[in-house]
Chain A
Amino acid sequence: MKKIKQFQTILNVVIVFSICIMVISVLGLLMGLMTGNMSKMNVTIHGQEINHVDAVLTIVILLMATGYGFFIYSIYQLKKLIDMFIRKEFFTDLSVKTLRIIGVSMLASPILIQVPGYAYGILNSATIHLKISSISPESIAFSIIISLFFIILSYIFNEAKIINDENELTI
Chain B
Amino acid sequence: MLARRKMRSNELAERIGITTANLSILKTGKAKAIRFSTLEAICKVLECQPGDIIEYIAEK
Residues of A with Cβ closer than 8 Å to B?
165-166, 169-171
Contact = CB atoms under 8 A, between A and B. Distances in A.
Interface residue SS majority, chain A: mixed
**Which one of A165, A166, A169, A171 has the highest number of Cβ atoms from chain B below 10 Å of its Cβ?**
A171
B35 A170 contact: yes
Most chain A CB within 10 A, of B22, B32, B33, is at B32
A171 B25 CA distance: 8
Interface of B: 18, 22-23, 25-26, 30-35, 38
Contact of A166 (B23, B26, B33, B38): B33
A147 B25 CA distance: 39
A94 B22 CA distance: 25
B15 to A, nearest CB: 15
Contacts of B23: 171
Contacts of B30: 169
A166 B30 CA distance: 10
23 contacts: A165-B32, A166-B32, A166-B33, A169-B25, A169-B30, A169-B31, A169-B32, A169-B33, A170-B31, A170-B32, A170-B33, A170-B34, A170-B35, A171-B18, A171-B22, A171-B23, A171-B25, A171-B26, A171-B31, A171-B33, A171-B34, A171-B35, A171-B38
Nearest to B21: A171
B52 to A, nearest CB: 17
Nearest to B18: A171
Nearest to A163: B32
A26 B4 CA distance: 75
A106 to B, nearest CB: 34
